[in-house]
Structure 1
Amino acid sequence: MDTESNNKKASKDDKMEKQPEADKMVKAIGDFGKWQVMLLLLIVAPTKISSAWQQLGIVFLAPATTFMCTETNLTDSIQISTCYSDCVSYEYYSEFENTIISEFGLICDRAWMANFTQTMCMFGVLIGSIVFGFVADRFGRRPALLIACMLQLVTTVVEAFCYNYWLFTTVRFFIGVSTAGTILSSFILIMEVIGPLRREFMNCLCALPMPVGQMLMPLFAYYLRTWNQFCLGVGIPHVLYLIYFFMLPESPRWLISVGRIEEASKVMTQAARWNNLPSGNMLDVAKSMASEKVNSNEPIRKATYLDLLKTRLLRINIFCSCTIWFVLGISYYGSNQYIGQTSSNVFVTVALAGVLQFPGILLSGFLCKYFGRKITMISFFVVCGGSNAFLVVPEDWFAVRLTMGAIGVGCASGAFATMYMYTSELFPTVARNMAMGASSTVSRVGSMLAPYVAGMTVIAAWLPPVAFAVVPILGAITCFFLPETRGQKLSDHLS
């Protein structure tokens, strides 16, 4: 009996030893309480919902549109959706009263400009990731988020009043910049106040509001049938961002890292009170955390991007990671835009694609926990590619196209959620942020190309579904070269 008791005690001690060293801040403010839930609902949910509206809104701004020449000087016979050099004016036919295609005449030799608008928006997201990443590290998470939110509020309202194409596209670029800032800054802030045991759970919660936004977007488009009404409809809710000036806290970890100890203690005191924890000694806790950084005798190794190529393992990991993120950029954003253009009911299709992202995101957490990251990514990619392949069926097969297109988007969403966690585990601490940044940047390149892949229907109707079927398979093959990271301790240093 004593032996069994000793074995249980030893086993318990071993588990305790395997756990990471207690985080003083987590012990002080709680790992996941009412304060963290408040931040999730106040910051992450609105910014992620808005990001869906801004990044995927092109589906309703530039939907599938047919046109016909109504006034010509020379041509006798007129065919629908055919361009004529002598045509004086065209009429446009779509589900909407007015779109950017009909407003700015984006047909014939100007047809590429509709896709270019979305490309510029995604290029803005790329630039915004770089700019606001720097701002958040240099000046704080709160200023970065406030600037991004105010920029988004202004640009989304101004967008509805743009009177020409190039002004509209320029505003879309800055909308992309602001969208990157809101997503990045809010994600950094929420993850810095969450305990390590809850971070995977929080990763799923942070991903869920985006499909919620996608599900709400068709409601705006259904009742607001002109492009400027739609822009204004999804822009006005950003007025809620004004409350951030009064309720948004700064990250206490960032405050401590820059020596603003008293400010950090005030935020921690507020958090502890929200979570019903003792709050009397927060200044001492903050000073203790600061002293650990100051008194540390360990040499600080500042890694560079070149260190990601230092060893064979890191070279393989960064190459594969960037390839997979590129695939995700094309698959997720391209599929969303394509199914919106080819469906006979764009409202149902977009909403259903949002609904199916819920099981994809939740399934990613389950599969990662029990089967590992690698098999999860491969499974999502294979199903995504297979589903997209069915989009080559005739347009009359509406149910098949609708179901398979939505499943493909759901799998791409689940793969995205998985890859965020997988990438962070593939690289050591000193180079993890750079690896995430490099991978995310490549993903934005993929998302910039996505509209052109979706627009290849003008060449041949079968080209986009074939491309969206082949690209995920490339991602699945790439996953085979990555190691499994489930259950493994995160590495800290470059080997």
Structure 2
Amino acid sequence: MVMLNPAEVYFKKLTRYHIYFIGVFFATKFMSVWHTLNIIFLSPPMHYTCGGDEAAKENACPCDNPIWDYSMFTKTVQTKFGIICDKMWLISMSESISFFGLLVGALVFGFLSDRYGRLLIYAICQIIISLAGCLVTVTHTFWLFCITRFFEGAGNGGAIVSGYVLCVEFSGTDYRPSVSTFIHMASNLGLICLACISYLLRDCDQFQLAISVPVMFCAIIKFLLLESPKWLMDKNKKEEAIKVMEKVCRFNKVPHDTVRAEIETYLSSQSDNKSEDIKFHHIFKYRNHTKNFFVMAYLYFVCGMCYYGVSQFIGKMSPTVHLNTVINGTLLTIGTIIGMLVVNRFGRRPFLRTTMFLSGVFMLIVICVPVTFNPSWVRTMFAGLSSSCYYMSFIVIFLYGVELFPTNIRSSTLGVLSLVSRIGQVIGPQINALSNTAAACTFGISALIGALVTFFLPETKGKALPSTLEEDTHVRFLNRVSAISTADDRQPPVSSQSKPSNSRN
């Protein structure tokens, strides 16, 4: 018999502590997410004319003495470092460096989170985000700007992985999808807030400082929340796990007399599994885990490439960057609410398959609508719907990835999958460099293929988070045995008339 982790049992219902936990975590997520897409307002499109030449055309090259148009922004990365004409490639390179930082941070801090704990690493990542973000404002050369942006991205990547795993491990099976989806809403509201901050502060240094200083206060989450008891138990940190569970019970004003006995019994039953020796590469010893990993890797790649790629695709459709960002954030918020209401009812796999399919279809519809079509907002609407569906897919694959793999390699596996997603994000801008038809076709077909490969994934709705690699295989075996036994029990007994004739002798 597979014994459930006591944390899974205690967290079966939503409690007072969970509401407190979600509120605190939401606030930190809301602020740290500003540093994912702040590049939109650090280096927006800037117009200029060459000084001393009244007949000069706007944005003409070459130009040694540009007169910038400050009607929208008073200072940007372009005006700060004089990036125009043949230097414009530096902007996309700085964006790629930031995404590379996200990639490295998700991978490195994902492994560190599995080793040293989710809460500690999450708090450290908040400090890195804040310090690197503040240093961005005082850089006097472009290359120092890129270096600080790399560390800003690395801290953000680590916070995304460690924070999400911490959130899911504190949630029970019944409300886990709703909680994880609600946490994603912080990203959408943060995006809208980011546009409002940029609207008020048109100087890129002032804007960056305004979104960096508050994140420093997010580090106090280490003293406001508790470490994941599931991680503590699976790391055999018995006394720390007992203290955490007792604090949770006291916060909820429920008896905690049996906590120690239940945790000791659970750890005793797990002693033969040696789950603390699990490493990431061990998943490739199991056929089901290997299949699940590679399918999820493709889905993470597609979501990373298409969500950020389509967001940039939409950006080229509208000249008003602030309004466009608010509209996009609003559509994403609506999509997130729909996901929160639907994903737990229909399951992970059907929901993911549907959102991937719809995102691909909406993107292919964009191709069919002519650029000259009136009203012009029709194309933008379908692209926005596609972006919302991609984001809903992003929501469910994060939850899916956490539920498919065991505790001791959960963060590291999610870190590797996030790395694959970041590679997709780096490729997305290169696809957008193609024609609009080629870009939309690539995004759409990739999503449709993603909808097909979901058939190879198992459903995890209502299942406890696995603690060991063997646990999932053992549960599958028990389910098959139970199904066979049930079928045998339901089969009617063989009557005496149906026996062979020699049985009467």
The alignment's TM-score, normalised by the length of structure 1, stands at 0.82
> 2: CA distance between counterparts of 1:362 and 1:396?
31
Deviation at 1:453, TM superposition (A): 3.6
Moved more, 135-144 or 226-235: 135-144
Deviation at 1:32, TM superposition (A): 2.1
After superposition, the Cα gap between the structure-2 partners of 1:248 and 1:390, relative to the gap in structure 1 and judged at 3 Å, is: farther
> 2: CA distance between counterparts of 1:337 and 1:238?
26
1:38 correspondence with 2:38: no
1:353 correspondence with 2:307: no
> 1: CA distance between counterparts of 2:144 and 2:368?
38
Partner amino acid, structure 2, of 1:353: N
Partner amino acid, structure 1, of 2:200: Y
1:215–1:355 CA contact under 8 A, matched in 2 = yes
For 2:117, which of 133, 140, 143 is the aligned residue?
140
Moved more, 478-487 or 338-347: 478-487
| Structure 1 equivalent of residue 83 of structure 2 | 106
| Structure 1 equivalent of residue 182 of structure 2 | 205
After superposition, the Cα gap between the structure-2 partners of 1:48 and 1:337, relative to the gap in structure 1 and judged at 3 Å, is: farther
After superposition, the Cα gap between the structure-2 partners of 1:266 and 1:316, relative to the gap in structure 1 and judged at 3 Å, is: closer
Deviation at 1:39, TM superposition (A): 1.6
For 1:116, which of 84, 93, 97 is the aligned residue?
93
| Structure 2 equivalent of residue 441 of structure 1 | 419
Within-5 A mapping of 1:298-317: 302=278, 305=281, 308=284, 311=287
1:49 correspondence with 2:30: yes
Partner amino acid, structure 1, of 2:330: V
| Structure 1 equivalent of residue 444 of structure 2 | 472
> 1: CA distance between counterparts of 2:125 and 2:374?
44
2:113–2:411 CA contact under 8 A, matched in 1 = no
The alignment partner of 1:78 has SS state of coil
Question: CA RMSD of the aligned region, Å?
Answer: 3.3
Deviation at 1:223, TM superposition (A): 0.4
| Structure 2 equivalent of residue 339 of structure 1 | 314
Within-5 A mapping of 1:414-429: 414-423=392-401
> 1: CA distance between counterparts of 2:315 and 2:16?
39
1:385 correspondence with 2:363: yes
1:336–1:350 CA contact under 8 A, matched in 2 = no
| Structure 1 equivalent of residue 64 of structure 2 | 88
After superposition, the Cα gap between the structure-2 partners of 1:40 and 1:158, relative to the gap in structure 1 and judged at 3 Å, is: same
Deviation at 1:402, TM superposition (A): 4.3
Kindly provide the CA deviation profile for residues 141-165 of structure 1, in whole angstroms up to 9, marking residues without a partner as x.
2321221111112112222222221
Kindly provide the CA deviation profile for residues 152-192 of structure 1, in whole angstroms up to 9, marking residues without a partner as x.
12112222222221111111111111111222222222222
Larger radius of gyration: 2
After superposition, the Cα gap between the structure-2 partners of 1:137 and 1:102, relative to the gap in structure 1 and judged at 3 Å, is: same
1:69 correspondence with 2:56: no
1:373–1:486 CA contact under 8 A, matched in 2 = no
After superposition, the Cα gap between the structure-2 partners of 1:299 and 1:143, relative to the gap in structure 1 and judged at 3 Å, is: closer
Partner amino acid, structure 2, of 1:40: I
The alignment partner of 2:325 has SS state of helix
After superposition, the Cα gap between the structure-2 partners of 1:446 and 1:242, relative to the gap in structure 1 and judged at 3 Å, is: closer
User: Which stretches in structure 1 are left out of the alignment for 5+ residues?
Assistant: 1-16
1:381–1:472 CA contact under 8 A, matched in 2 = yes
- Percent of residue pairs bearing the same amino acid type: 25
1:186 correspondence with 2:156: no
Deviation at 1:64, TM superposition (A): 1.9
Deviation at 1:346, TM superposition (A): 1.5
Deviation at 1:297, TM superposition (A): 6.3
Partner amino acid, structure 1, of 2:38: G
Within-5 A mapping of 1:225-374: 225-294=202-271, 296=272, 302=278, 305=281, 308=284, 311=287, 318-365=293-340, 366=342, 369-370=345-346, 372-373=350-351
1:391–1:404 CA contact under 8 A, matched in 2 = no
Deviation at 1:337, TM superposition (A): 3.1
Deviation at 1:77, TM superposition (A): 5.6
Deviation at 1:210, TM superposition (A): 0.8
The alignment partner of 1:480 has SS state of helix
Partner amino acid, structure 2, of 1:179: N
1:63–1:341 CA contact under 8 A, matched in 2 = no
Kindly provide the CA deviation profile for residues 189-238 of structure 1, in whole angstroms up to 9, marking residues without a partner as x.
22222222222222212221111111111110100011111101211221
| Structure 1 equivalent of residue 133 of structure 2 | 156
1:166 correspondence with 2:143: yes
1:55–1:176 CA contact under 8 A, matched in 2 = yes
After superposition, the Cα gap between the structure-2 partners of 1:38 and 1:448, relative to the gap in structure 1 and judged at 3 Å, is: same
The alignment's TM-score, normalised by the length of structure 2, stands at 0.81
For 1:60, which of 26, 41, 50 is the aligned residue?
41
> 2: CA distance between counterparts of 1:316 and 1:257?
24
User: Which stretches in structure 2 are left out of the alignment for 5+ residues?
Assistant: 477-505
Partner amino acid, structure 2, of 1:356: L
1:378–1:476 CA contact under 8 A, matched in 2 = yes
After superposition, the Cα gap between the structure-2 partners of 1:300 and 1:215, relative to the gap in structure 1 and judged at 3 Å, is: closer
Moved more, 394-403 or 340-349: 394-403
> 2: CA distance between counterparts of 1:220 and 1:273?
40
Aligned length: 463
> 1: CA distance between counterparts of 2:440 and 2:285?
30
Deviation at 1:348, TM superposition (A): 1.6
The alignment partner of 1:196 has SS state of coil
Kindly provide the CA deviation profile for residues 279-300 of structure 1, in whole angstroms up to 9, marking residues without a partner as x.
2343333333322222x36899
| Structure 2 equivalent of residue 14 of structure 1 | none
Deviation at 1:28, TM superposition (A): 4.1
1:29–1:272 CA contact under 8 A, matched in 2 = no
> 1: CA distance between counterparts of 2:169 and 2:396?
20
> 2: CA distance between counterparts of 1:471 and 1:449?
11
